[in-house]
Structure 1
């Protein structure tokens, strides 16, 4: 199952933002910043990555519901459930 084209742009934006946040965290560590500040930024990066993953799963669920017939739909939904739980 492919990621919907409309979701791809949003996911890429989220990942690029997370990439910048990770660079910022590395800089904070190199500068000897306080651990609570570093952990706060790491939590923000983690949330950004989770949101990107959930966006991909939501796109897949839409495809499952609208496109696939019968058994194929069930198999796709089972796959989406496993992916969702891997992020939860």
Structure 2
């Protein structure tokens, strides 16, 4: 990451992402509590699925913003090849499990 590779998200986007992440943090704490309290496995797995879905939603929102700001900035500066390569690497990171 270079000096110019710093994300520039609006305060609204940051607030939205932080709010989502705080909810996810609460979900993870709830999962931990459920395990400590010997809650039925299927119920815990349902909560895990919901948490993963919420985290995927954050990743999707962040990817959308990345494409609209960071990638578009590179394209507008004439660095289309670099932008495309970065986008491919980003997609590969997201689809790996």
Q: Which of 1 and 2 has higher RCO (CA within 8 Å, sep 6+)?
A: 1
C-alpha distance in structure 2 between counterparts of 1:62 and 1:7, whole Å: 12
CA RMSD in angstroms, aligned pairs only: 1.7
Once superposed, which parts of structure 1, at least 4 consecutive aligned residues long, lie more than 4 Å away?
none
1:74 to 74, 81, 89: 81
Structure 2 unaligned spans of 5+: none
Which residue does 1:14 correspond to in 2? 20
Q: Deviations over 1:32-86 (max 9, x none)?
A: 0111100110011111111111111111100122x33222x43234323322332
Aligned residue pairs total: 86
Structure 1 unaligned spans of 5+: none
Instruction: Give the TM-score, by structure 2 length.
Output: 0.76
Instruction: Give the TM-score, by structure 1 length.
Output: 0.83
Which residue does 1:84 correspond to in 2? 91
